[in-house]
Structure 1
Amino acid sequence: MRIILLSSFFLVYLSLFSVAQERSFFAIEGTVRSESGEGLPATIIVHELGKGTAADLEGNFRIDGLNPGNYHLHVTHLGYKALTKTIRITTEDLQLDLRLEESAITLQSLTIEANPFKNGPVEQSQSIEVVDREFMEKNNSGTFANALEKLPGISTINTGVGISKPVIRGMSFNRIMVNDRGIKQEGQQWGADHGLEIDPFDVDRVEVVKGPASLIYGSDGMSGVINISPAPFPREGNIQGHLINSYRTNNAMRSHSAMVEGNKNDFVFKGRVTLQDFQDYRVPADRFVYAGFELPVYDNRLKNTAGKERHFSLMTGWRKNWGKSTLTVSRFQQKAGIFTGAVGIPNSYNLRHNGDYGDIEFPRQDNTHLKVISNTTIQLKENWLELDLGYQRNERMEQSLPHIHGVGPTPEGNLALALYLNTFTANARLNYHINPKHQSIIGFQSSLMDNRFGGFEFLLPAFRSLNAGLFYFHEYRWTNNLIVNAGLRLDGARHVIQSHEQPVYDQSLNPTGETVQRNPDIDRDFFNISGATGFSWILNEHNNFKLNLGSSFRIPTPIELATNGIHHGNFRHEIGDADLKSERSYQADLNFTHSLDKLLFGISPFIAYYQDYIYLAPTGRFSTLSGASTLWEYRQNNALFAGAELKFQWAPIQGIQFSLAGEYIYNQNLDTRLPLPLTPPASVLSSIEYSLPKTLWFIANSYFYLEYRQVAAQNRVDRNERTTGGYGLLQAGLGWEIPLGSKAWKIQISGQNLLDTYYFNHLSRYRLLNLPEQGRNINFNLKIPFQLKSN
């Protein structure tokens, strides 16, 4: 890994030296107009440099200081479809006449950058959903993953309120890759009770790639990828920021986030601090049944589900004519209670509140995630080199009382389980422009993970894992309306896992001097070849048909190979299998989109065959370990996944928009002929939104929306897995802006589960205790922008 890092820095030095030899700068200038010829004050961004400008009221713009080479322009303006255009600067300034197509569908004004070739949304062959900061703020429910649930094909696995993980097309954990600024987020993503350590206020742009994405991103992109991208750099000479304050009634969650960013002589910086505190949350129930006993829910609050979070991030860097480079340091810290009944056996006494709903008692979890990320983009004549380097330190500690687990006091005190994961990452991509019809990407990715553990319990052994991959991806514009791509990837990995010997205690909880082996030494090597191909057929300006085919793989993780312990947050004893093989999948993903200025219709059917699919299955047996529940084990069978997503948006008149997002997932274990566990049920989200750009002189950009989500019952379950009934949830929200000088304060009010519905989420961990989901919740949000300096 040190060699990889040194080589990457050496490449950066050589590249900077080479581009420093050539200093002939040119400009892009032109006009952005509507189809009728009206000038538009659109935003124009040069993607590779994060550099841009806003056109004037007549649509005129100019961007100076560009080297000869190839660039991608992103042009956006509210009320119009986004435009992405590939341009080439040779030996003179470039003149452009850009035309935007009118659209009443809001999300069509957003560009797609997740496509590796940076071209427009119709050119790429995969299904990609993109949302911006406005969407995240409007749908913020306390966690990053929950804000994405309104996208078709996306759901979440929840543990209480503050912990959630995304699910794409029925898959989660290590089959979904979350990339933060080009670096794969490495935490304890194999556990449903481990949330994503992402500050929801520190997300400016999210792109969800659905379907096989292993070729570009690696084996964990088998089901999809969530890309978190930074916002464009602020304009030269500007220093600005905002304050966000929000309150949620259900658990008295108070959130405060402050951000400031600036650009002086192309030196850029951005800093953010976020504080969140929340109390025990309310459920629409006063009792629940566990192991045949009826137990109380005092004051309709789940005891010890309070928590607090403290996050910060700092980005600094510079932008030059040869490219850009940034360094980002962030720290996520969360302290959250675990429902008292989740560890040991719940009883009426330990479920009673102590009078303080915000008190975080035992059991609880303390999570800290430190990230240091370096992103560099360098121009090499007509080509671009991207380098991403990262270091992550993930610390997860579970605190609880030793007697609950049936073991005596130990030197670790109340530390039941600690996991310390260090990850080093180095990625490089060369975007090679061959000619206007051909372009390619050569990429290299590598990571080194080192995990250690502590505490008086055992779940996951110490291990070291090295992964490296090399890929080639090519795009060919066969005709102006048919774009074809194909690629090949080679990957290798090695897991070195240490054995663990557990002391044996007698009936008086005294050590006997004997030990029992919880897992053996494991030293495994893996090698895989994968490939993908696809095309985008632009039938005409309103219809687009896409096909993506891929053969993906996934290497078994150390948790799947070697775990043997009680996973309290999941209420089960989990056992790994040291002989697991790599998964192999064969996937087909279709997408058809019909787009008009007032209507958008899209359907995305998919099917996948998985060879040696790894999954965690209930055995129906109880664990022999003290304080444990049922026994679950990792198994491997062939499986079939199929389903579809539907998206419909219609704006019949100005200011009114109807939306519908539906999803259905079918899977089958081809060996047992039973469904796979933890499959999301079918659901449909319907909504209507009414908005006005101007209401009164002191109120602008007001809107009101009403949503209803209907979720079907899930009766297709694995053996020994519980079914769940269907339910419907009503949500609503409104917002408006108050202009104050050159800025406007933004006020948003929204409500979830407005009817206080009693229901069970099939993917929620607490449903295993027969505990319903969160009751009625009203959110209040105030955003105050400010300008410290302007050019």
Structure 2
Amino acid sequence: MLVFAQEKQTYTVKGKVVDESGEPLPASILVHELGKGTAASLDGTFSIKGLNPGSYHLHITHIGYKSLTKTINLESEDLELNFTMVETAITLQSLTIEANPFKNGPIEQSQTIEVVDRDFIEKNNSGTFSNALEKLPGISTINTGVGISKPVIRGMSFNRIMVNDRGIKQEGQQWGADHGLEIDPFDVDRVEIVKGPASLIYGSDGMSGVINISPAPLPEEGTIQGHLINSYRTNNNMRSHSAMVEGNENDFVFKARVTLQDFQDYRVPADRFVYAGFELPVYDNRLKNTAGKERHFSFMAGLRKDWGKSTLTISQFNQTAGIFTGAVGIPNSYNLRHNGSYSNIEYPRQDNMHLKVISNTNIQLNKNWLEIDLGYQRNNRLEESLPHIHGVGPTPEGNLALALFLDTYTANVRFNYHINQDHQSIIGFQSSWMENHFGGFEFLLPDFQSLSSGLFYFHEYRWKENFIVNAGLRLDGAMHDIQAHYQPVYDNSLNPTGETTQRNPDINRNFLNLSGSTGLSWIIDEKNNFKLNLGSSYRIPTPIELATNGVHHGNFRHEVGDANLNSERSFQADLNYTYSKENFLVGFSPFISYFDGYIYLAPTGRFSTLPAAGTLWEYRQNNAFFSGAELKLQWVLFKSFKATMAAEYVYNYNLDSGLPLPLTPPASLISGLEWTVPAGFSRFFKNGYIYLEYRQVATQERVDRNERITDGYGLLEAGLGWEIPVGKQDWKLQISGQNLLDTFYYNHLSRYRLLNLPEQGKNININLKIPFSIK
């Protein structure tokens, strides 16, 4: 097949890029499917040679101008194109959206999507990938200390959010609030957040949204380059170092990265806290045993040819992180006392490893494209603690309280069928096999095997040039085979009695579900765009929801599953309206959802009979209602001075109990001012900026039964950055400060909120990026 493709006549796409006044622009032109492109010369002309007959998507970008996307068809001759780019001061318009399955750009997509790039992530570096996304409306995080965080979209998280890394769904025991997202924050170049029902294309876990982590465009032919990033955070003395090198030799491409992070116990603006009516100390304003270290690497190699491209990526995430000493067992003054080092990682702690092997291949078949993504993942999660705290004596497992070993095999195949200029279709198949084993002297999740597969059809129709509609159907099936577990019983002297108690029965469940969605994008004029997306999707209950019966120490509670849970069904509507012009942009995104059989973890108000277990929480299933909205605004008040605002609100309601659902993020508003240093201001202060930001978070009074109310708070942040010419390269220096007023506050979604522990105090972050070029 590939030989046949290479024997075909190839063609050239050439043309010119100018601004509205006709002046040439040295813009970048990228052929998305091939990951190849070129930069226009100073006179605006460009040429891309060696293209087979077929359909392609071109992306034209240039700093300070609204990005363009053009669908082209090469059939029997070379193609000459002329592009006119419109100047804009709005940064959101300079990013091309790819989350549309047809890669058609921002105006055709019918869903609400946020896009961020490498610059945004570096500017908002918070130590974890999830925390860097909190600046976006509708995105929040569930945190356990500093190094452990997971994303929340529109008030939903866990198995209702799908995280795709290079087209493969990340599987890492994401059902746990204390289970962070095992993603190297320095190894992310581009992120697309799809809000609302996205289950049709991506699978049932995309019920509330999808986070797509996309690789950067492949390096240009004949180049070898890279960068070094070093950063330091003052609050917990976090030291981060990341080195990357990439290159392209005769269409053989490669990229490698190594990241090291070390951090100490973090500081809080308090010297004591109250737990169960007792006042306990926080020595030296540091939370004991919240230090950690991380070691990550990734390597990609592949080919880029005229028939398409194929890459293989191997990555491994390694993290050892302490859990606050009072999180397991009853905290007291003795076990909170400082032991002489803020860097020690003592018990209890997490030791996590996530290995991924991902193959991505795009093959051109005439005007159509075949995409194949294959993946293998190994997730090892070890939770270590002292046995006597858990009410057991010396065990063969030593200090290994809980071990979870998850193997996942994934295969995704999509055929993008270009019917004509007005009609496009995708037929896709997805399948995954998961096998979980556990160890340690504690029990939480049993051994299980799970098989899931889905088949979908998606169609897009351009009814008019400014009116695009889409619709699709998806059929999914899944099987859970969960093994029973019998736990040893210990006497009052912590010795095994030889007896066992059943913690969960054998569970064999099969599920079959049909889902569908439809949407439209109406480009009213060049300034107004209206989008509507409707969907009915489902989510099958996970093994943890069906079979858990143990102490989840990271959440400070005893969690119990229900083997009789059924699939939850959602009916969702998502609207997006955007008004934009050269110096002003406003976007409004309301949403509404009804869930039939919504599965959630709820506090019972009863105490567990297990040692050091705290309260008892149960997985329940009730009908629920969600609604809310996001508002974003960018306004360039005058040249180089910009005001921004991002607001979000989530309202939910348990239709059976008449109460709100637990762990609902409070309403928040981020307001910011940013001054961009004018070009030519100083040759030692290139591309400089200074910003000031204030986040106001409302009191969360809408809580579930036995859930605490959390007071509102305000946080001040500021930063600056600029590029310094050093030789032939520009070094980038960024300095930012979070919680500059050292505010004492509780994060409603933090797992340490249950212990009345405040969040981090003042934090200064210094980041230096040093690019280099070998060839």
**What aligned pairs does 1:545-560 form with structure 2 within 5 A after superposition?**
545-560=530-545
2:322 is aligned with what amino acid?
G
CA deviation profile, 1:53-109 (whole Å, cap 9, x unmatched): 111112111111100000000111111111111001111111000111111011211
SS in 2 for 1:314: strand
Alignment match, 1:775: 761
Kept after mapping to 2: 8 A contact 1:694/1:702: no
Kept after mapping to 1: 8 A contact 2:446/2:484: yes
SS in 1 for 2:638: coil
CA deviation profile, 1:499-547 (whole Å, cap 9, x unmatched): 0001112222222222110000000000000000010000000000010
2:721 is aligned with what amino acid?
G
Alignment match, 2:273: 288
Alignment match, 2:722: 736
Alignment match, 1:414: 399
Alignment match, 2:627: 642
In structure 2, which of residues 707, 712, 715 is the aligned counterpart of residue 726 of structure 1?
712
SS in 2 for 1:489: strand
1:694 is aligned with what amino acid?
G
Deviation at 1:608, TM superposition (A): 0.3
Give the whole-Å Cα distance in 2 for the aligned partners of 1:513 and 1:137.
55
1:24 is aligned with what amino acid?
Q
Kept after mapping to 2: 8 A contact 1:695/1:701: no
Alignment match, 1:11: none
Deviation at 1:121, TM superposition (A): 0.4
Alignment match, 2:101: 116
Give the whole-Å Cα distance in 2 for the aligned partners of 1:202 and 1:141.
14
Alignment match, 1:450: 435
**What aligned pairs does 1:164-243 form with structure 2 within 5 A after superposition?**
164-243=149-228
2:174 is aligned with what amino acid?
Q
Alignment match, 1:310: 295
CA deviation profile, 1:183-214 (whole Å, cap 9, x unmatched): 00000100111100000000000000000000
Kept after mapping to 2: 8 A contact 1:48/1:71: yes
Identity over aligned pairs, percent: 78
CA deviation profile, 1:623-678 (whole Å, cap 9, x unmatched): 00011100000000000000000010001211111100000000000000100000
Pairing 1:614–2:599 present:
yes
CA deviation profile, 1:219-267 (whole Å, cap 9, x unmatched): 0000000000000011100000000000000000000000000000010
Alignment match, 2:488: 503
More off after superposition, 100-109 vs 393-402: 100-109
SS in 1 for 2:718: strand
Alignment match, 1:12: none
Give the whole-Å Cα distance in 2 for the aligned partners of 1:429 and 1:210.
22
Give the whole-Å Cα distance in 1 for the aligned partners of 2:680 and 2:223.
27
Kept after mapping to 2: 8 A contact 1:733/1:750: yes
**What aligned pairs does 1:740-759 form with structure 2 within 5 A after superposition?**
740-759=726-745
Give the whole-Å Cα distance in 2 for the aligned partners of 1:235 and 1:509.
64
Extract unaligned runs of 5+ from structure 1: 1-14
Kept after mapping to 2: 8 A contact 1:323/1:378: yes
SS in 2 for 1:346: coil
In structure 2, which of residues 416, 437, 456 is the aligned counterpart of residue 471 of structure 1?
456
Alignment match, 1:332: 317
Give the whole-Å Cα distance in 2 for the aligned partners of 1:719 and 1:694.
60
2:705 is aligned with what amino acid?
R
Kept after mapping to 2: 8 A contact 1:694/1:701: no
In structure 2, which of residues 114, 118, 140 is the aligned counterpart of residue 129 of structure 1?
114
Deviation at 1:388, TM superposition (A): 0.1
1:730 is aligned with what amino acid?
L
1:164 is aligned with what amino acid?
S
Give the whole-Å Cα distance in 1 for the aligned partners of 2:656 and 2:42.
64
In structure 1, which of residues 481, 485, 490 is the aligned counterpart of residue 466 of structure 2?
481
More off after superposition, 647-656 vs 308-317: 647-656
CA deviation profile, 1:259-285 (whole Å, cap 9, x unmatched): 000000010000000000000000000
Alignment match, 1:766: 752
**What aligned pairs does 1:156-167 form with structure 2 within 5 A after superposition?**
156-167=141-152
Kept after mapping to 1: 8 A contact 2:5/2:52: no
Alignment match, 1:9: none
SS in 1 for 2:680: strand
Deviation at 1:742, TM superposition (A): 2.8
Alignment match, 1:525: 510
Q: What TM-score comes out, normalization by structure 2 length?
A: 0.99
Alignment match, 1:297: 282
Kept after mapping to 2: 8 A contact 1:30/1:96: yes
Alignment match, 2:773: 787
Alignment match, 1:68: 53
Pairing 1:363–2:348 present:
yes
Alignment match, 2:527: 542
SS in 2 for 1:466: strand
1:473 is aligned with what amino acid?
F
Alignment match, 2:684: 698
Give the whole-Å Cα distance in 2 for the aligned partners of 1:595 and 1:473.
29
Extract unaligned runs of 5+ from structure 2: none
More off after superposition, 328-337 vs 53-62: 53-62
Give the whole-Å Cα distance in 2 for the aligned partners of 1:263 and 1:520.
55
Kept after mapping to 1: 8 A contact 2:462/2:469: yes
Deviation at 1:17, TM superposition (A): 5.3
CA deviation profile, 1:365-384 (whole Å, cap 9, x unmatched): 10000000000000000000
1:715 is aligned with what amino acid?
E
Alignment match, 1:4: none
Alignment match, 1:7: none
SS in 2 for 1:240: strand
Give the whole-Å Cα distance in 1 for the aligned partners of 2:757 and 2:169.
33
CA deviation profile, 1:675-717 (whole Å, cap 9, x unmatched): 0000000000000100113321222111000000000000000
Alignment match, 2:364: 379
CA deviation profile, 1:729-765 (whole Å, cap 9, x unmatched): 0000000111123310000000000000000010000
1:519 is aligned with what amino acid?
N
Kept after mapping to 2: 8 A contact 1:186/1:392: yes
Alignment match, 2:700: 714
Q: Which runs of 4+ in 1 moved over 3 A?
A: 15-18
CA deviation profile, 1:563-595 (whole Å, cap 9, x unmatched): 000000000000000000000000000000001
Alignment match, 1:87: 72
Deviation at 1:36, TM superposition (A): 1.6
Kept after mapping to 1: 8 A contact 2:136/2:646: yes
Give the whole-Å Cα distance in 1 for the aligned partners of 2:437 and 2:296.
24
Kept after mapping to 2: 8 A contact 1:608/1:640: yes
Alignment match, 1:257: 242
1:709 is aligned with what amino acid?
R
In structure 1, which of residues 138, 144, 147 is the aligned counterpart of residue 132 of structure 2?
147
Deviation at 1:18, TM superposition (A): 4.8
